[in-house]
Amino acid sequence: MALANGWLFFVAAAVLVLAVVIGLLLGRRRRPGTADAGAPLARAERVRALPSFAHAIRARRIALSGVLAIGAVAVLVGGVAAARPMTSQTIQPVSSSRDIMLCLDVSGSMTDVDTEVIDVFTELLAGFHGERIGLTIFNGSPVQVFPLTDDYAFVKERLADIKKSFDYTDSIPEHWAGTLNGNGASLVGDGLAACAMRFDHLDTKRSRTIVLATDNELNGSPILTLPEAAQYAASKKVRVFAIDPVAGMDAALTNELAQAAESTGGRMYELRDSTSVSDIITEVQKEQATQLKGQVRVVWSDAPDLILLLLAAGVVAFVALMWRVRL
């Protein structure tokens, strides 16, 4: 047991010591005959010699000593209670969850549909419970908006911020910052590879999923092609579920995106397909959740129960003895 405000205990102890010292000094100043003698009694020495009188005196002295002792203990226990006794517990948080990286193409060709995609991401969020979720956006270059986290209030807030940036009310929209540094635009392969690299605890076998939203309209020279990035994701045991907002407008691009997703064990969905959200949630949750151990930490909590019980018992005993000796 530890005390949050240990100095209060020493204050109580100091008050007790001061009271004892003052009591002793006052006791020494009293002289025989100065105390209240009560009614005069002839031959008092004979009364004092009676065994019953001696027994009564001893009993009273013991009771008075008990009153003082219990009072002193009560003051010290009260000091401990005021100092807030606390106990510590060493815990290691364990989360049983899956990891999901949202991967959003924010290139110009996606401007008209990105807000719809974010609405889908938000809907996905409502269907998960305990999964860690992250967000990476890309255009000419990828940027991590937030890492994997199970703080869903934070995730929802950041998704809303990114959605707001597509209103272009700021001079530099948030989704532009850091995403225009590559050699081209909508570099899907580089974006997918970057999302696959955002997973941590790679030495732990966990369910890892990427939800990739892109129209796959490449414009530039990526470091990795989409098939190569999909192969990299598959090598890391990461499944890719693709959301195509323009499925059917270019059969070749749609087929390439679908094949890339299927090569990882995932599949492709159309943006406005009413079953896409529920299907993705179902597919993700099919994967076995794996325990992830957090950092060991010490948690302190108030533990006043025993001290308050002792204090209450001391007060009751003190009052009972005071009544018994008629003080």
Count Cα neighbours of 46 within 13 Å in the Cβ-side half-sphere. Answer: 3
Amino acid at the residue 307: I
**Helix/strand/coil (H/E/C) assignment for every residue in the chain:** CEECCHHHHHHHHHHHHHHHHHHHHHHHHCCCCCCCCCCCCCCHHHHHHCHHHHHHHHHHHHHHHHHHHHHHHHHHHHHHHHCCEEEEEEECCEEEECEEEEEEECCHHHHHHHHHHHHHHHHHHHHCCCCEEEEEEECCCEEEEEEEECCHHHHHHHHHHHHHHCCCCCCCCHHHCCCCCCCEECCHHHHHHHHHCCCCCCCCCCCEEEEEECCCCCEECCCCCHHHHHHHHHHCCEEEEEEECCCCCCHHHHHHHHHHHHCCCCCEEECCCCCHHHHHHHHHHHCCCEEEECCCEEEEEECCHHHHHHHHHHHHHHHHHHHHCCC
Burial class (CB within 10 angstroms; exposed 0-12, middle 13-18, buried 19+) of 70: buried
Query: Phi and psi at residue 270, in whole multiples of 5°?
Result: -85, 145
Q: Over the chain (327 residues), what is each successive 10-residue block's mean pLDDT?
A: 75 80 74 53 66 75 76 80 79 71 93 89 86 94 94 94 90 90 91 95 85 92 94 94 85 93 93 75 71 68 79 79 69
Q: What is the pLDDT of residue 35?
A: 47
Q: What is the pLDDT of residue 254?
A: 92
Q: Give me the count of residues in the chain.
A: 327
The Cα–Cα gap between 292 and 290 comes to: 6
Domain ranges of the chain: 2-27+50-90+297-324, 94-293
Amino acid at the residue 173: P
Q: Which CATH architecture has domain 94-293?
A: 3-Layer(aba) Sandwich (3.40)
Q: Cα 51–53–56 angle (5° rounding)?
A: 110
What would the two tokens of residue 156 be?
Answer: 């929802």
Q: What is the pLDDT of residue 48?
A: 67
Q: What is the pLDDT of residue 179?
A: 93
